[in-house]
A and B are shown apart, each in its own frame.
Chain A
């Protein structure tokens, strides 16, 4: 059974710092891995999607990497801003065309001005 773990559960950093969020998964037979952002009391917003054949994806100040063999992904946020404060979740889709995503429990990020 696929399990997704995100460490740490919470992170507090000063504005301007570069930071890395971690995601690990137990079964490397994945179709893709996705990173989402969730603001308090709201739904999830898709940030980046990495296919299993890819190593990384970039969008603005965000860069996500994938190392399938070791079961790890990282989300790098450059020059963090208070507006980046949110919970970040990663999710994996199993290989085989299943529509189901398995989510981690998220990392709650606070960027202090």
Chain B
């Protein structure tokens, strides 16, 4: 058990809608990152937040956005959902300056119909 919690666990949306996924970091971790994992693939880096600022981003369009709150919890927002956005969305936390080992949450399975 990593201490990283995500909600909801499953979500069904239709194309064009917007979705917000939530993550609560492990206690003491000040850095959170989000990954998208399509079926049968490895996780793909979306972005990272440190001290409430986005400080790293992968190859994802601007309709993927996020927030980090003072308590280090985080949100991932996806606008104008597309069918290809169907995937497992993983939140991972770590403590900046203490290595790059990631602690993943159980993920949110998003299905876009």
Q: Do A and B bind each other?
A: no
Task: Identify the B interface with A (CB < 8 A).
Answer: none
